[in-house]
Amino acid sequence: MCMRKMRDVMLKWVLWYVMLLVCWISNIAAAPPADANISGNCPQTCGNVLVPYPFGFRDTSAAQAANKPTCAMNDAFMFTCNSTYSPPRLYFDTGMRIENLSVQEGTISVRTNEAFDCYNKSGKARSSDQIIRLREGPFRFSDTRNKFTAVGCDTLAFMTDAEGTFLSGCFSICLENNTMLEGSCSGIGCCQTALPKGLKTLNVSVTSVNNHSNVLSFNPCGFAFLADQRSFKVSDLRLSDYPYSNLTKDYATSDFVIEWVVREETCEAAQLSSDGYACGNNTHCTFSPNGKGYRCLCKAGFTGNPYLPQGCQDIDECMEPQKYPCKGSCKNTIGNYTCRCPLGMHGDGKSGCQGFRITTIATVLGAVMFVSIISVLILIIWKKRIKEKNFLENGGKLLKHQRVRVFTEAELAKATKNYVTSQLLGEGGFGSVYKGVLADNTQIAVKRPKDMDKTQLNQEFQHEIAIVSQVNHKNVVKILGLCLETTIPLLVYEFISNGSLYQHIHQKKSQILANWRNRMKIAAETALALDYLHSLANPPIVHGDIKSANILLDDQYTVKVADFGASMIISPNQSNMVTKIQGTFGYLDPEYLMTGNLTEKSDVYSFGVVLVELLSGVKPNSNLVMRSEEKTNIIQEFLSSLENKNLSEILCFNVTDEEMEEIGVFAELAKRCLSNSGVNRPTMKDVTEELGRLMKLHQSLWAQQNSKETENLLGDDSSSYLPIEIETTKMKQPDTYTLNMTTFDF
């Protein structure tokens, strides 16, 4: 009886163990391999392109159309594989063929058609704009890998987004029918410009100033496209065969890069999200500022696909001795490995093992200490020599004799708390601006260049120094000094505390702009600064990017004109300059857009746009829907209101009848500034004098109002008025060399 019970108990234990073993084996068989998609029957490649998870694709063949497994994380990551080609081709969207998918870099390399514009002796023969719309989801054009590029001998190319929030482009010409392009796209046969961050749509158009009439014999076309800087080589192109001269072949294609993120949220938010965290085991999360979302990467010592549920797997370093050297006994550990020297040998095992006698240990230790001390001394001397070299290369020998403060690298690092993100004021294509506080409590703004080509950055720096060395005016942001110890110099400016006119008009309920007189004061002080640049700077300067975002206000609400990044010096006997078109959509002079000639009258037009912005409170690049339900912009609406004598309908502030007369004169001045022809626009000197006369027109009335407001100084309205101290007389050019400049907006 006892034997039977013991046998039954043993049988139950054996059956239970077998069931556990079967479950364990089935779980192993069901787990997806390290490089597979989530679904076991998902295809891995489309033609020559590897498609790892979180991506997937649907095949165009009938067999695949009937079987649609869950191969992608979501529909945004599902692509199309066209099997009618040999080999098959993978498509992001219609007309956009995928060349490569990278999980590690978070990029998609795409090939698409280029915009082009071709001519023959009769005129335009063929043309096509390029319109790229990325699908809904976490995708952006890469601002670090791509550059907007134009190729041709008489080619003017533009790019903008679907909303029209920006406009940029470049101009390419040729000299004496050269068929070979230079080594870089510098404007001769090829030109390039950068993309802004966060771009999802792109409209590209190409035109010609002279219809290619002077180069039809070897180059009748102009092309514009996005170019991946890793694969694009301008030296491989010849203008005689690119674009196609016979105008019968299909137009060319180009490669560009799309950046992607898993979801558009931070790593911290993703880990707490109910939608699930996409990163698997042994991974870490990284945030992409371009897509404003997160991606996943394997931790050091691990490899595989970080988006699979099992995540990344440990690397067995002992199995790859060429990549992970070990001269002793190798032992794999999770995420790393150890290497021990054989018995009787010493060393770390990875770089080598040596045998020692006890009597030689002291000698070896002494030698190590001696070498360490010498190495430290050499490192200190080397760093000092590097700083001295940078100082001299950046013009320190000349600048140290001028009236400009030279900061040390350590001094600015301390002032900006080592350039922490919380001190960041703004950034652009050239670099970033950080707020800092010096030891004497002086607030500063430090302009720090990005990690770009040193030659290009030095050219930008020299250009900026050439501009600011001419400027000395109370209504222009001043430069306080330089740091020449770094590879690319750092520029230090005064810190402007009350933000920009753009913020006061569009982002704040600003009491400063609640009344007419303060708006008038801001316009007059801005005009004074521009008149100084055009008339008294030696040589004269064209600002090139006048807009409300570049008109700053200090703690006393005095105007400080900023940003000379697009400025140009006017040489003697030179009235205009052909430049790469740059600026801000809505403020750009239409004559400048058509010809590429930047003149003082280009600044006058942009200033006229700012005057309309002060009156209406509407962004110049905004579309308006009027009563007729037709779209228009504020400039057109402003001119229409003047013609129909209903100017008061577009004003964004309350005015009296007396002030309305002044506003009418102010508006007529703005209208003259906005003339399509630069010849018909007034000079900034005329504008300054007109605004000065207008401010004195009712000076006695303002004095009476100010007397009444002084009696109620503690009232709600007292803080909304600024002191009127506008001088229409010109300042004398300083005799000493003083650096004064801008800028927080690149």
Per-residue pLDDT at 22: 40
Decide if pLDDT at 463 tops 70. no
Q: Last residue of some domain: 62, 94, 126?
A: 94
Query: Is there a single domain that holds both residue 697 and residue 677?
Result: yes
Is residue 611 scored above 60 in pLDDT? Answer: yes
Closest by Cα among 118, 47, 37 to 73: 37
Q: What mean pLDDT is predicted for residues 718-726? A: 51
Instruction: Burial-class residue 453 by CB neighbours within 10 Å (0-12, 13-18, 19+).
Output: exposed
Choose the final residue of a domain: 453, 470, 494. 494
Around Cβ 193, how many Cβ atoms within 10 Å?
A: 18
Cβ-Cβ contacts under 8 Å for 97 (sequence gap 6 or more): 89, 90, 91, 110, 111, 112
Each residue's pLDDT tens digit, 660-680: 989 999 999 999 999 999 999
pLDDT band at 709 (very low <50, low <70, confident <90, very high): low
pLDDT band of residue 735 (cuts 50, 70, 90) is very low
The CATH number for 676's domain is 1.10.510.10
Domain hosting residue 244, numbered range: 110-257
| Nearest one of 237, 258, 39 to 141, comparing CA atoms | 258
Q: Is residue 595 part of a domain?
A: yes
- Orientation angle between helical segments 657-673 and 684-697, nearest 10 degrees: 180
**Catalytic residue list:** 545
Phi, then psi, of 473 in degrees rounded to 5 = -150, 145
The pLDDT score that the predictor gives to residue 422 is 92
For 639-656, the pLDDT digits (tens) are: 999 999 999 999 998 888
pTM over 0.85: no
447 is in an annotated binding site: yes
Band (pLDDT 50/70/90 cuts) for residue 354 is: confident
Is residue 719 pLDDT above 50, yes or no? no
Mean pLDDT of 576-593: 81
Domain count of the chain? 5
What is the distance of C-alpha 251 from the center of its chain? 30
Q: What is the pLDDT of residue 361?
A: 61
**pLDDT for 563:** 81
Which range among 142-151, 312-321, 482-491, 602-611 shows the weakest confidence by mean pLDDT?
Answer: 482-491
The CATH number of residue 352's host domain is 2.10.25
In a domain, 32, yes or no: no
Domain-terminating residue out of 27, 62, 94: 94
At residue 403, the pLDDT reads 60
Interval 165-214: pLDDT, tens: 999 999 998 876 666 666 788 888 889 999 999 999 999 999 998 888 87
d(CA 664, CA 662): 5
Report pLDDT for 501: 94
> Residue 162 corresponds to which tokens in the numbers above?
């679907």
Tokens 């294609």 identify what position?
253
pLDDT > 90? residue 346: no
Q: For the ranges 351-355, 389-393, 684-688, which has the lowest average pLDDT?
A: 389-393
Is residue 298 assigned to a domain? no
- Render pLDDT for 245-273 as a digit per residue (tens, 0 to 9): 444 444 567 899 999 999 999 999 999 98
Q: Does 340 lie in the same domain as 209?
A: no
Question: How buried is residue 77: exposed, middle or buried, by Cβ count under 10 Å (0-12/13-18/19+)?
Answer: buried
Are 455 and 486 in a shared domain? yes
Mean pLDDT of the region 544-566: 89
- Residue at token pair 């005015």: 655
Q: What does the DSSP 8-state code read for residue 453? A: -
167 burial level (CB within 10 Å; 0-12, 13-18, 19+): buried
- In one letter, which amino acid is 740? N
- In this structure, are 250 and 182 located in the same domain? yes
The per-residue pLDDT for 612 is 96
In a domain, 381, yes or no: no
Mean pLDDT of 297-325: 92
Using the predicted structure, report yes or no on whether residue 464 has a pLDDT greater than 60.
yes
Q: What value does the mean pLDDT of the chain take?
A: 80
- Which whole number is the average pLDDT over 445-459? 69
Are both 609 and 680 inside the same structural domain? Answer: yes
Same domain flag for 478 and 615 = no
74 and 116 belong to one structural domain: no
Query: What are the pLDDT digits (tens) for 121-152?
Result: 888 888 889 999 999 889 999 999 999 999 88
Inter-CA distances, 701 with 520, 567, 691, Å:
15, 40, 17
Based on the domain organization, do 486 and 506 belong to the same domain?
A: no
The pLDDT value recorded for residue 479 is 83
pLDDT, tens digit (0-9, with 9 covering 90-100), for 57-94: 988 775 554 445 568 998 899 999 999 899 999 999 87
Please name every residue paired with 78 in a beta bridge, in sequence order, or none if there are none: 56
Residue 36 DSSP symbol: S
The verdict on 133 and 250 lying in the same domain is: yes
Residue 368 lies in a domain: no
Domain assignment of residue 411, yes or no: yes
Q: Are residues 409 and 450 in the same domain?
A: yes
Better-scored residue on pLDDT, 549 or 121: 549
Residue 412 placed within a domain: yes
Whether residue 362 has pLDDT greater than 70: no
Domain identity same for 534 and 552: yes
Mean pLDDT of all residues in 343-361: 69
